[in-house]
Structure 1
Amino acid sequence: MKKRWLLPVFASLMLLASPFTNDAEAATNKELTTTAYKYIGVPYTWGGTTSNGFDCSGFTQKVFSDLGINLGRTTSTQYASGNAVSKSNLEVGDLVFFNTSGRGVSHVGIFVGNGQFVHASSSRGVTVSKLSESYWANRYLGAREIADFPAEQVAKKVEEVKSVAVDFSVYASRAEVANQLAKALNLDTSNTTSKFSDVKSSNKYAGAITALQKQGIFQGDENGKFNPNSPITRAEMAKVLVLAFDLKLQDNTLQFTDVKKGNWAYDYVNNLASNKVTLGLGNGAFGAKDNVTLTQLGAFIERAMN
């Protein structure tokens, strides 16, 4: 994907003379939401611009940067960018702005459809909220269209979808999960002789994989393979974390729309939620079939340890 640049607006004359909405080689709305959601759970940090911690405009700037769009750093700069959009015409990817300080624009998020926006909340970190919530509805200022994020092509062959390579600079492989868990649990990883047919002793994570298998935390598939270079879903991760940290179900009131009773992962996911290791995606769903990102992996392990 070629990089798409969005120049900041320095004067109202420039804004009137050449309003811009970048739609050249635009990412799809699915790519936009996937990119934004991968940071859910990252804590709020004043002045933060990385996955270690975001403030509101640092988060929006990072998401757009990941998609090749250069966005101004501050909330006020972002509010002066792009084209104004009415609340009734919001589309996925539009920036929504709020007056939370009583002194004008002071908070920004990204509209993700269904009346919701994802943002870096000072109290909850990166999360999803509803525009209709009284707090946000009473402080809503307006929205700006920065780029056009078209809907994905509806018809895709299954083979094409399966052939898309997983970006392991973003997502966690099963081997990486084993590596980080072994470190967190301080396991002995000196034994590199794995029972899994696809994990050779020369694999740099063989010791970690073997240690976790002996602890009963990781099991292979029906063919005796570990699949070290495959991603791991959030549902699978829930099971691994519960087993790894021997988590016990606490008083539980949190339920997820995509993990209902009868689902094999129901007990594991609810256990994880009851121990406050996860809050889900913030929209009522856990994202059971979504692949775990490296950011989420780090957050899961840190919360489970604490």
Structure 2
Amino acid sequence: MKKLLYLLVTCSLLLLITPVQSTKAASGQQIVDFAKKYVGVPYKFGGTSPAGFDCSGFLKYVYGKFNINLPRTSSEQYKVGTKVSKSELEPGDIVLFSNTYKPGISHAGIYIGDNKFISAENKGIAISSLSNSYWGPKFTAGKRLDSVSSNKQFSDLATSHPAYDAIIELSSNDVINGFTDNTFKPEKPVTRGQAAAILNRVLGYTPSKNTSFKDVSPNQSFYKDILAMQSAGIIQGYPDGTFKSNQYMDRAQMAVIIERAFELDHGFSIAKASTIYDDVVPNHWAGAAIASMHAIDKTTLFQTSSFRASDEATRAEFSAAIYNAYTGK
């Protein structure tokens, strides 16, 4: 799965649906996720690289990776952006502190949510609470940069949605984008053609033969992706020789193609799903794949009593399935 691992580094997958919106500004969550990769890196006075950071050097490095050029010192970083109160902080905001190792503004970090921030402390890059006995009294201000977008990216996606983390992570990495009206439409179904395109952006397969599908022609959307998925044995057609590109994919089909695409192998028998879901019979054709959806699930979206195998797979469900599969590899 070298190509898959390459994707996980470069995050090059783009959901091909119309219309879509590409966000020019970095999302706060994207910045937070990147910053967290450096937890444990040692503190180094004057440090501005992963070999060692001081507090302002860490911020300059992290935001710089998103084409945001911050001043070098925390006192100068205090002068940028729009001031926000502690109660208004959102992930990706800068938090500043006074009177630490010297009078005045002397420490900076990145707010990560849940009243916590990440910064370069004496013990290295660490996550701390804004309410602890040391940092609490020294908190001075929060600053929001115009070039960082709010994490509340989709007006129709509640933070309580089971697929919220999956959707936000994928969208923050340009894996799945929303619509031009700032919605995600989590309950909108996914077509078989879209599914082929999504998965081929992950796998990067090249078709090894011309399609035999009588309803797929070279001038239609997702043509090469459909051929690639057919050649790889990931998405097959129907007995009548059609692919039905515009037909919505059901949840059983989703489970099977995710299992094939990500080479999931949990040793489940077809009958296993019937002990998990009350609406899956022991000999269900997609039983093993359905059981895998339950086993790898980090979102709780598939931790239900029924699987609803014949229901249309939604954008939220497909996002969760992809997220579960590749983060579990």
> Structure 2-normalised TM-score?
0.41
> Structure 1-normalised TM-score?
0.44
